[in-house]
Structure 1
Amino acid sequence: MRHLLILACSQRKRSDADSLPAIERYDGPTFRLLRRFLRKQPSARLEIYILSAKFGLIPSDYQIPNYDQRMTKMRSRQLQPEVIAKFEDILSAKSYQKLCICLGQDYFLALDKYDMLIKSGLAVRIATGSLGKKLATLHDWLYGKPPELAIRQAVVPQGKASLKGIEVVLTPAEVLDLARQALVEGKGNPGCYQSWYVLVGDRRVSPKWVVSLLTGLPVSAFHSSVARRLLQQLGVEIYRE
């Protein structure tokens, strides 16, 4: 099965003086994820096109210099006719079974009306939202499944955990009761999460928000991975979108 990926260029680039293939020049998180996938599965039947503010819609092996040009709404609208024409050529040249489009809002303007070109039988996945959500969607599309949660295998629930010298000794039910009460009281920003979440009743909440409740520490004081590990040490289930 041949798959097609269209993703935005990144502001972060390698600074090599010589021209590089676009997939090597751009060095943002999506490109690191993509290159890691290609190293693991070099025989994947995946064709990649990159939407560049300077060069338009280019194949991943297109040689480009180091440059600095940001995508704006105006630039995206300027590019739209040639980008749509190129997209139509790509779809006409080969038969694809799956398509993933991973673009920010400004970039998406250049693909306006792309859906009119989608042929029957082509499964389309759009990666939207925060960077974390786009990365999660792209990962799942590339690999065909969510990433394994390594800490689920490595962490044995102990009924207690500590963070920055603060010890927490609570059962999973007690943790969820505290979170439920905090929701009623409107504390903090429970819905601010990227991919991983805790279920409190039927509501999805941020693991960092829960750990902030338990420790009194601000969410900026620790990483998401630390929050997930602490909750798993307490036996609290962590879910992934």
Structure 2
Amino acid sequence: MTSLLVQSCSATKESVDTPVPALDLYDGYFFRIIKKALRADQFQPGLDMIIISAEHGVVETDDKIGYYDRQMDTDRANELNDEVVGEIAEKVAGNEYDKVWVNLGADYLPAVDGIEAAVDIPVHYIEGCGIGMKGKRLKHLVSSGRPDPVHGD
């Protein structure tokens, strides 16, 4: 199984003076889950990830970026929509993914509006009542390749 995880950036970032890989810059709750799985060598093989950045749009985990302080809002998400949907569709077309997993907060969702029509594979959203449940489902996804069974996917 190969899947693409679309993850929002985080407000919590490492304080860096020079650009670093995006995965190293972000330090929010979901990134701590992802990094812990990577450190423990438990990150699901075949699960690729891209980050939706309020500042940069679509960012690969190894793209070098510097510190910034821009928050996502509905206007910015709408502004990024064409770019984000286009880049996700291009990435899906260039790889043999079985699914796209989306882990975005409400402010980010307009950035991926229309993604289901742009790709020819299932798009699933990591949902939950609060950040803790979403984190639990993300942890299960990155370590097993599927979300928490409670999610029903």
Aligned to 1:13: 13
Q: Equivalences for 1:145-156 in 2 at 5 Å?
A: none
Query: Structure 1 residue 45: deviation in Å?
Result: 2.1
Aligned to 2:127: 128
Asked if 1:67 is matched to 2:71, the reply is no
Which residue identity does 1:74 align to in structure 2?
A: D
The verdict on how the C-alpha distance between 1:75 and 1:27 changes in structure 2, with shifts beyond 3 A counting, is same
Aligned to 1:214: none
The verdict on how the C-alpha distance between 1:146 and 1:54 changes in structure 2, with shifts beyond 3 A counting, is closer
Q: Distance in 1 between matches of 2:55 and 2:135?
A: 23
Contact 1:20 1:64 in 2 (8 A): yes
Which gives a bigger RCO, structure 1 or 2 (Cα 8 Å, sep 6+)?
A: 2
SS in 2 for 1:106: coil
SS in 2 for 1:27: coil
The verdict on how the C-alpha distance between 1:41 and 1:6 changes in structure 2, with shifts beyond 3 A counting, is same
Which residue identity does 1:19 align to in structure 2?
A: P
Query: Structure 1 residue 132: deviation in Å?
Result: 1.0
Q: Distance in 2 between matches of 1:62 and 1:135?
A: 24
Contact 1:14 1:27 in 2 (8 A): yes
Q: Equivalences for 1:202-213 in 2 at 5 Å?
A: none
Asked if 1:4 is matched to 2:4, the reply is yes
| Number of equivalences | 147
Aligned to 1:35: 35
Aligned to 1:103: 104
Aligned to 2:77: 76
Q: Deviations over 1:49-98 (max 9, x none)?
A: 00000000111111100110000101111111111111111111111023
Contact 1:49 1:57 in 2 (8 A): yes
The verdict on how the C-alpha distance between 1:114 and 1:146 changes in structure 2, with shifts beyond 3 A counting, is closer
Q: Distance in 1 between matches of 2:147 and 2:73?
A: 32
Which residue identity does 2:114 align to in structure 1?
A: K
The RMSD of aligned alpha carbons is: 2.0
Which residue identity does 1:16 align to in structure 2?
A: V
Gaps of 5+ in 1: 148-239
- Larger C-alpha radius of gyration, 1 or 2? 1
The verdict on how the C-alpha distance between 1:116 and 1:123 changes in structure 2, with shifts beyond 3 A counting, is closer
Q: Distance in 2 between matches of 1:63 and 1:44?
A: 23
Which residue identity does 2:101 align to in structure 1?
A: C
Which residue identity does 1:21 align to in structure 2?
A: P
Gaps of 5+ in 2: none
SS in 1 for 2:107: helix
**TM-score of the pair, normalised by structure 2:** 0.87
Asked if 1:54 is matched to 2:55, the reply is yes
**TM-score of the pair, normalised by structure 1:** 0.57
Q: Deviations over 1:30-61 (max 9, x none)?
A: 00100111222367222110000000011111
Contact 1:7 1:102 in 2 (8 A): yes
